[in-house]
Amino acid sequence: MKQVELIDLTKSYDKQKNVLNEISLSIEKGEFFVLVGPSGCGKSTLLRMVAGLEEITGGTLLLNGEEANMLAPKDRNLSMVFQNYALYPHLTVEQNIVFGLDAKRVKKPEQKRRMKEAAEMMGLTDLLERKPKELSGGQRQRVALARAVVSEAPLCLMDEPLSNLDAKLRAHMRIEIRRLQRKLGLTMIYVTHDQVEAMTMGDRIMVLNDGVIQQVGSPIDLYNEPANLFVATFIGSPKMNTANALVNHQLNQVEIGNTLTLSLPDSLAGLGEHVTAAIRSEHIQYEPLEAAQQLDVASVEQLGNETLITFSVGEELWTAKWPGQWAIKTGDRVPVKLEPSHFHFFDSTTGALLKSAEVQTVQKVLL
């Protein structure tokens, strides 16, 4: 069942250039849907339009099959968690949690029941009498989540709720939010600029750039088969390595960054001379016995469980990600193996995908 449907949704201010251009998508009931993109791409504006906090310039918004363009926010049966948590500093944790229920005139016994359940779920039982200034960032975040939970709204909107937290707490809260969404069966629309959050949390991801949808799909689909060069370099960490490439059909070769020469995949036989070649960091392999390529090391990052080695490839810097610890230094010349089948190729002018890499089948575990 489609709980949220956007049909050619457009937003502009003072009839200037559109902030959002004809956004069309549907979100199923119980889905964790992530909007991701760089700052200023329009993702928060889109979320606020769904919430009713921004006026819709053009197009149609449907909630549970009913048009909601002119529906007041209070009548949309949704909850929202903001980036700054939006807690009232003069109210206690308990009062902040039930504030929305007071506004809806929910009876006091029902408020108490919902608040107690939400506080236990969020680990806030011992903090109910504290004020927001007495809480850590993670505790404030949990109060904002509890306030969304007590509303019992089937649709929850989140606008970069973890951006103010440190890295360790962000990782913990990602797990908590995903667990909460599954437990309550919420439909969740989650806005972030962090592609790691998008990859680890979303059932589906929409990549937005300059107000235009770049691609919608599952995290692994976006990683393995990006629709264009923007998605390829935005999704994945480290980002995908790219370089200009020249296709030589006579020699059946492709020259990458004036540095590397590889055999030409059969699927590129009918393409023009100029393309953009791209490869993931895990596909740059150390293989001294078979390697035909030698690359100069520009920098080394030792992370303990893995090592990131940055190589100079013409004017570009490529990063390889190798498991374990490697005794490699800046300035070393290292032999690597680059399989033509591991490369993506994109149109150098439009950025559109011409050929995706031949990735390995996802490993399956029999339980």
Has domain 2-228 been given CATH number 1.20.120.790?
no
Q: How far apart are CA 159 and CA 141, in angstroms?
A: 12
Residues of the chain with pLDDT under 70: 265-271, 290-292, 359-367
| pLDDT reported for residue 290 | 65
> Domain boundaries in the chain?
2-228, 238-355
Question: Which residue from 160, 225, 150 is spatially nearest to 189, judged by alpha carbons?
Answer: 160
Q: 132-137 — which CB contacts under 8 Å span 24+ positions? A: 132/85, 132/87, 132/88, 132/89, 132/91, 132/93, 132/96, 133/89, 135/93, 137/164, 137/165, 137/166, 137/169
CATH T-level assignment (fold) for domain 238-355: OB fold (Dihydrolipoamide Acetyltransferase, E2P) (2.40.50)
Q: How many CB atoms lie within 10 A of CB 6?
A: 21
| pLDDT reported for residue 155 | 94
Question: Which residue from 30, 28, 78 is spatially nearest to 50, judged by alpha carbons?
Answer: 78
| pLDDT reported for residue 36 | 95
Q: How far apart are CA 144 and CA 34, in angstroms?
A: 19
| pLDDT reported for residue 166 | 82
Axis-axis angle for helices 108-122, 137-150 (nearest 10): 140
| pLDDT reported for residue 309 | 96
| pLDDT reported for residue 366 | 61
| pLDDT reported for residue 300 | 95
| pLDDT reported for residue 363 | 62
